[in-house]
A and B are shown apart, each in its own frame.
Chain A
Amino acid sequence: MPEVPLLKVNNLIKEFPLGGGLFAEPRARVRAVDDVSFALSRGETFGLVGESGCGKTTLGRLILRLVEPTSGDVEFDGQHILALGAKEMRLLRRRMQIIFQDPYASLDPRMKVNAIVTEPLCAIQNLAKSERKKVAAELIEKVGLRAADLDKYPHEFSGGQRQRISIARALCVRPDLIVADEPVSALDVSIQAQVINLMADLKKEFQLSYVFISHDLSVVEHISDRIAVMYLGTIVELAPAVSFSDSPRHPYTAALLRAVPMPDPHRKTEPFPMEGDAPSPIDPPPGCAFHPRCPHAFERCRVEKPSLVKTARQHFVACWLNNSRGLGIE
């Protein structure tokens, strides 16, 4: 019997209306997330990469039901969360938390650290002041700060320290899942390493699962067990992190990998074949959304959208090149 995955996302779609007023029909719709499905096991880190605007944040928010999907379904530990009422949802929230990118904007500047880190817990249960302090002290030491820091305000901390505070806050309710939306993107390399190591340690200690969102491929490869590459709202490739950089199957993944400047002066990055900007999600190209930038595009790519199919163990790709080679469709 395979165990029930902690998180299951089924055919999620999210459209945002654009323009139009309260009563007017919107002029257009952006399909920010376009038919995304995947499952996440307990203790797994699921990396999500892709260019700006491809729908990573929207997908993260859909998972926590911070926005309602247009259609599709999210199962958390076997429960269909979209069917839950407000009260049940609030209880479930203690098991899923989010960390945001910007350590400067995401912490309330008027609250002391003590109140910030225990807020998610206080939202669901009454805590005596002394109890609250005790919980906070324990958490803050877990993330490498000192109990004395609890009486300070966010502006008294550096970016990396603020991100530790965000992590302490997310851990407060002992969640099973943390969606981390670009948690290290605003940090210096040396501080980024501290936070990545901390997240890895906490994952082990608390059996956490992460959805780790980033546009930095090296970071995602480092921390993830599996990696999903998104393009214009869809997952175009899903692969184990160990083989990710080695054997990309989607031309977009290959182009992304090739575009990362190598931190090695002896290995000059090859000239870059992909031209143009990512197309607009308001008016996505027909067929495979990547075809206008793809060096391998052929007729079928322009008319028919490829779906995500299995090409190897744990490896899924949405590209006609793989399909037409007849690699096992599941």
Chain B
Amino acid sequence: MDPKLLTIEALSVHFHLPEGVARAVDGIGFDLQPGETLGLVGESGCGKSVTALSILGLVQSPPGRIEAGRILFESRNLLRLDAEGLRRIRGRDISMIFQEPMTSLNPVLPIGRQVAEPLMVHKALSRSEAMAEAAAWLDHVKIPAARKRLDDYPHQLSGGMRQRVMIAMAMVCRPKLLIADEPTTALDVTIQAQILSLMLMLKSELNMSVLLITHDLGVVAQMASRVVVMYAGQVVEEGRMTDMFDQPFHPYTRGLLKSMPRLGDRRAGRPPRLNEIPGTVPSLIEAVSGCRFAGRCPHVFDVCRKQQPDLFKIGAGQRARCWLKRYPDRRKPDA
């Protein structure tokens, strides 16, 4: 057996809202090896961020509640740790980068202090040692004239520079796992390219594992070696990056790949119409008896509406939650 850094098993997170119980995460599971980058993709609202927040014990509660499951980090169940135990792991062994740096950087604290903070908390460095190390990290993430900018406040930096500060902050303690939740979505492509190559460089330097959450299939294809596709709170497909692009199984994965415009489409004379996935995601509050994708699926048949499909094994490392595995002749050839 391979050593796993992180294993999530049958995790369910529900939000208890006035209008009902929203099953934001409904029995998901996946694992992450040391040094691996795993992509987590799926439609907005499918539960990607809630999954990430669960790992760090940051799900807002109430209304959120972890109903079931285990999150094993180096064989320890994080869901069993108390607040103090989690705090020790957060920022040291596991750290997180959020989509919008302004919400996670402290606006009234100079950036040098913010990067130095985790070192003082987790590594017991003195203030001056920590500041020296912070300066080195800001330099490393290519903040121009880093040493002169230690006293700058976040609002004095551009969006791309703030994201670099976030990365420096997440990296100072050399975590084993980095959770990056849409780390570049708010950035321009040119800055995104810089941030992504910075993440790749640091990842190989520190031999870190990365859980990369994004809805950008381009980013995932460039960064991850494996991918998990979520739909309405569940894992619907997982597999090696190359398999997912070359032979996706689940109709949602296929639809997603086909609905994306690609650079060069025009030149290649590909048809001007994009493939659409009709309809919208189902409500997480209403109970669904069958497959959650049934309402939008071009292949849907009687079984799909009655019974929820399992995550069937498709091939080496590839699994998909779809009845077509059992009833292959039901797949419509042209959809």
Contacts and interface: CB of A to CB of B under 8 A. Distances in A.
Interface of A: 51-52, 158-161, 188-194, 196-197, 200, 215, 217-219, 221-222, 241-246, 255-266, 268-269, 271-272, 274-278
Interface string B121-162: 000000000000000000000001000000000000011110
Nearest to A269: B222
25 contacts: A188-B43, A188-B215, A192-B259, A193-B275, A193-B277, A194-B277, A215-B189, A218-B263, A218-B265, A221-B263, A243-B267, A255-B190, A257-B263, A260-B189, A260-B263, A261-B216, A261-B219, A261-B221, A261-B222, A264-B221, A265-B221, A271-B197, A272-B197, A274-B190, A277-B158
A276 B189 CA distance: 12
B266 interface: yes
Contact of A259 (B193, B223, B266, B280): B193
B277 A221 contact: no
Given A245-B264, A265-B242, A190 B218 contact: no
Contact of A261 (B160, B196, B267, B280): B196
Contact of B188 (A51, A190, A200): A51
A246 B191 contact: no
A221 B274 CA distance: 13
A260 B259 CA distance: 17
B69 interface: no
Contacts of A260: 189, 218, 263
A137 to B, nearest CB: 21
Interface in B205-243: 215-219, 221-223, 241-242
Contacts, number: 134
B84 interface: no
B213 to A, nearest CB: 14
Nearest to B257: A263
B276 interface: yes
A221 B223 CA distance: 24
A107 to B, nearest CB: 17
A188 B191 CA distance: 21
A200 B272 contact: yes
B272 A215 contact: no
A303 to B, nearest CB: 24
B216 A196 contact: no
A250 B256 CA distance: 32
A263 B216 CA distance: 8
A189 B218 contact: no
Nearest to A144: B278
B259 A259 contact: no
Contact of A244 (B223, B266, B274): B266
Instruction: Specify which of B266, B275, B278 lies most central, judged by the most chain A CB atoms within 10 Å of its CB.
Output: B266
B189 A217 contact: yes
Nearest to B278: A194
Given A161-B280, A246-B264, A266-B242, A189 B215 contact: yes
Contacts of A246: 264, 267
Given A192-B259, A261-B222, A265-B242, A197 B273 contact: yes
Contacts of A261: 192-193, 196, 216, 218-219, 221-223
A194 B276 contact: yes
Contacts of A193: 259-261, 274-277
Given A196-B274, A272-B193, A219 B261 contact: yes
A188 B44 contact: yes
Contacts of B43: 188, 190
Contacts of B160: 277
Interface of B: 43-44, 144, 158-161, 188-194, 196-197, 215-219, 221-223, 241-242, 245, 255-257, 259-267, 272-278, 280-281
Instruction: Specify which of B217, B241, B275 lies most central, judged by the most chain A CB atoms within 10 Å of its CB.
Output: B217
Nearest to A264: B221
Nearest to A186: B44
A191 B280 contact: yes
Contacts of A271: 197
Contacts of A200: 272-273
Contacts of A159: 44
A191 B276 CA distance: 7
Query: Which 8 residue pairs are nearest across A and B when measured between Cβ atoms?
Result: A261-B218, A193-B259, A222-B261, A259-B193, A193-B274, A190-B277, A259-B189, A51-B188
Given A160-B280, A197-B276, A256 B189 contact: yes
A52 B259 CA distance: 25
Contact of B260 (A189, A258, A266, A268): A189
A313 B257 CA distance: 34
Contacts of B190: 51, 255-256, 259, 272, 274, 278
A264 B275 CA distance: 18
A234 to B, nearest CB: 17
Contacts of B266: 221-222, 241-242, 244-245
Contacts of A190: 43, 255-256, 259, 276-277
Contacts of B280: 158, 160-161, 191
B161 A277 contact: yes
Nearest to B243: A265
Contacts of B273: 197, 200
A267 to B, nearest CB: 8
A196 B221 CA distance: 23
Contacts of A258: 193
Contact of B262 (A242, A259, A263): A263
Given A190-B43, A190-B256, A277-B161, 8 more contacts: A192-B259, A221-B261, A221-B265, A242-B267, A260-B218, A263-B217, A277-B158, A277-B160
B253 to A, nearest CB: 11
A124 to B, nearest CB: 33
B101 to A, nearest CB: 14
B49 to A, nearest CB: 14
A48 B276 CA distance: 24
Contacts of A52: 159, 188
A132 B289 CA distance: 41
